[in-house]
Amino acid sequence: MDVKRKLEILADAAKYDASCASSGTEKRDSRDGKGIGSTDAGMGICHSYAPDGRCISLLKILLTNACNYDCLYCVNRASSNVTRARFTVDEVVQLTLDFYRRNYIEGLFLSSGIIRSADYTMEQVVAVARKLREEHHFRGYIHLKTIPEADDALITEAGKYADRLSINIEVPEEDSLAKLAPEKDVRAIRRTMGRLRLKLDEAREGRKPTPRGKVGPRFAPAGQSTQMIVGADSANDSTIIRTSANLYGSYNLKRVYYSAFSPIPDASRALPLRAPPLIREHRLYQADWLMRFYGFDADEIVDDNDGMLSLDMDPKLAWALRHRDRFPLDVNRASREDLLRVPGFGAKAVQRIIETRRISSIRVGDLARLHIPRNKALPFIVLPDHRPTVNLLDSARLVERFKPKATQLGFGF
Ligand code: SF4
């Protein structure tokens, strides 16, 4: 099988993994004439995103789609009837360098099915990164998927070459993982995440310059991340968000990625027949953002009634509509924490408000300059020239106002 055909198979097999953003790494470039590649935006690196927000600027492939495991949700599982392929280490290295030189990519995202053993597979993955860094002085971005059961020394070596390491938690609940991926061991996944956290903390501490200017060895400067599949089991949004909060807190993850389950050929009966709406994945990302940058607790984001995020409106607006007693808020006096909870107020807008109001009062006419959508924010705020009517804030009409307009279904002709 030629490399082009392998690439078709192994790039397609990798598309189900959503965790490939390249943010947060250290800056490296090759302007000194040594090495190849850069992690610095604007150095001829093409950043591009799929319409659903997934980063596609990395060469995202599997080393092989053969796998000993039989995870029911995975198209590459042992019992799947797909064409199998396997790259050699040198083929992945060459492809990465060729694509990089043509400016197609800014780096490599490498994962693999598990062949022979966890250690053998991890050795192959690490060998790609080692060759790129040590033989070809590749300074672009490298994200390696880590196999939880692999030997600690291999994981340490992976961290030496990779910018980011990730281990997929797969599904939010342990019981579901036992049913859907019986060979996977949730304790091994959590244990390895914990070990990665310790190594990351040690490396961060060790890389602070000493008076003699010495710094310790690098270890995955862009940290660790994970992915959760949404909709493959019955976990509701509340469970997913609480699991994410626990992962962020326990393992200091940089990101949790959410990937809407896609039905696969010859799927098991244990899986749903239909994919969840893609907007559910989007709402989970918004909820995740609220926890990380807006001071929300996992427990308050989702309505307790059904444990699901509204598909009709973003989670911050939905929260504000459930807590109307907290509004209207005086924009010229409210604390940063309260301002961050106003629908339509982004973190940057809140910063601009705080800077602006030190000098002059903010009025309705200033909202556009602050990039705040008037229609969304006005029912919840007080300004010197605006106060929402009590009737509006209390009325059921307010919810209707924010719901998307109903559209009549077409007849298909
Ligand atoms: S171990 Fe990974 S590649 Fe193998 S079946 Fe499970 S999810 Fe798929």
The pLDDT tens digits for 152-169 are: 999 999 999 999 999 998
Ligand 1 atom nearest to CA at 112: 3
Task: Give the pLDDT mean for 197-203.
Answer: 92
Whether ligand 1 lies within 6 angstroms of the CB of 113 is answered as yes
Which protein residue has the closest C-alpha to ligand 1 atom 6? 71
Higher pLDDT among residues 133 and 35, named by residue: 133
CA of 67 to the centre of ligand 1 (A): 6
CA of 75 to the centre of ligand 1 (A): 8
The pLDDT-based confidence of 277 (bands split at 50, 70, 90) is confident
| Relative orientation angle of helices 278-293 and 237-251, to the nearest 10 degrees | 40
Interatomic CA distance for residues 315 and 321, integer angstroms: 10
CA of 183 to the centre of ligand 1 (A): 9
Quick one: pLDDT at residue 357?
93
Asked if 163 and 222 count as a contact pair (C-beta separation under 8 A), the reply is yes
Residue type, 344: G
Ligand 1 neighbourhood includes 76 CB (under 6 angstroms) = yes
For the cut 90, the answer to whether the pLDDT of residue 396 exceeds it is no
Q: What is the pLDDT of residue 154?
A: 96
Whole-angstrom distance, CA of residue 39 vs CA of residue 178: 38
Reported confidence tier of residue 284, pLDDT bands at 50, 70, 90: very high
pLDDT, tens digit (0-9, with 9 covering 90-100), for 50-62: 334 445 488 889 9
Q: Are 76 and 65 in contact (CB under 8 A)?
A: yes
Give the pLDDT band of residue 214 (cuts 50, 70, 90). Answer: low
Distance 27 CA to ligand 1 centre (A): 32
| Beta strands, E only, 18-135 | 58-62, 107-111
Task: Give every CB contact of residue 70 below 8 A, 6+ residues apart in sequence.
Answer: 77, 78, 79, 182, 183
Q: Is 77 in the pocket of ligand 1 (CB under 6 A)?
A: yes
Q: Which atom of ligand 1 is nearest to the CA of 78?
A: 5
Secondary structure (DSSP) of 136-147: S-B-SEEEEEPP
Nearest atom within ligand 1 for CA of residue 67: 4
Q: Of ligand 1's atoms, which has the minimum distance to the CA of residue 181? A: 6
- Predicted pLDDT of residue 44: 27
pLDDT (0 to 100) of residue 27: 53
Q: What is the pLDDT of residue 46?
A: 34
Using left for φ > 0, alpha for ψ between -120 and 50, and beta otherwise, residue 228 falls in: beta
Cα 363 to Cα 356: distance, rounded to the nearest angstrom = 11
Indicate whether residue 65 lines ligand 1 (CB < 6 A): no
Q: Which residue has the higher pLDDT, 383 or 398?
A: 383
* Residue recorded with tokens 């807008």: 349
Residue type, 375: N
The pLDDT-based confidence of 273 (bands split at 50, 70, 90) is confident
User: Given this model, what pLDDT does residue 49 score?
Assistant: 41
Of 282, 266, 263, 265, nearest in space to 274 by CA: 263
Closest Cα to atom 2, ligand 1: which residue? 113
**105 vs 296 pLDDT, higher one:** 296
The backbone torsions φ and ψ at residue 290, rounded to the nearest 5 degrees and listed phi first, read: -60, -35
- Tell which atom from ligand 1 comes closest to the C-alpha of 170: 7
Q: By the 8 A CB rule, do 4 and 78 touch? A: no
Residue 306 predicted with pLDDT over 70? yes
User: Per-residue pLDDT averaged across 24-35, rounded?
Assistant: 53
Which tops the pLDDT comparison, 347 or 266?
A: 347
